[in-house]
Amino acid sequence: MQPAVGEMQLRVHSFARSPEQAAFHDMLAGGPLAPHVRFHFGIEPNGVSPILRELLSTRHSGAHLYACGPVPFMDEARRIAEGCTNLAGIHWEYFTLPAYVPEAGGVSDAFTVRLARAGRTFEVPADKSILQVLIENGVTMDWSCMEGVCGLCATRVLEGEPDHRDDVLSTEERQRDRLMTVCCSRARGGLLVLDL
């Protein structure tokens, strides 16, 4: 039986060249999370992938992965995690955002956003985000990063197809919960109807 934190089973894996270079090392090594933390120090670049593959493929079914780090590490973790069918959700926080590459069919064109509950409709030009347009028009909602990494602006889509450009929502949240981040994601068609 794995030790649990609250009702969750938690494992923290920290990769760094040395303890001095590991973020939050003292807190992780000496605090209440210490029994759940394993450090991986001084691993050669080509040694990281086998460790990640072993760690991710042996998680119990339904596990969620939360990963943060620099782009090369995250890209490798992402490549491996997306091939692991046991993971229920994967969540990313890049130290710096990777260059945006539109999904096939994605567009940056202007489109229309309708707020179903407020009964208001706005045009979103190609050079503004949905969130910018909403704020300019006095619509209040939670937001923070404006870059698709915090998840605060996640909003349910009632109609239309989002062009997801965030790095925070899981596949499950996008497909089952129909969520999109309005600070950076756009529309694949001419109209999005949001649950606002």
CB-neighbour burial class of residue 184 (10 A; exposed 0-12, middle 13-18, buried 19+): buried
**Would you count residue 167 as binding ligand FES (CB under 6 A)?**
no
Nearest approach in angstroms of CB 167 to ligand FES is 9
Residue from 78, 80, 160, 166 binding ligand FES (CB under 6 A): 166
Residue from 92, 94, 111, 143 binding ligand FES (CB under 6 A): 143
Token pair 């698709």 is found at 148
**Would you count residue 146 as binding ligand FES (CB under 6 A)?**
yes
Of 88 and 146, CB closest to ligand FES: 146
**Would you count residue 180 as binding ligand FES (CB under 6 A)?**
no
The helix or strand, by DSSP H or E, that contains position 81, with its residue range, turns out to be: helix 71-81
Residue from 113, 153, 180, 196 binding ligand FES (CB under 6 A): 153
Strands (E) across the chain are located at 4-5, 8-9, 12-16, 37-41, 63-69, 87-94, 111-115, 120-124, 154-159, 162-163, 179-181, 186-187, 191-194
Is residue 57 a contact partner of residue 137, using CB atoms and an 8 Å limit? Answer: no
Of 81 and 145, CB closest to ligand FES: 145
Residue ranges in contact with ligand FES by CB under 6 A:
143-146, 148-153, 166, 168, 181, 183
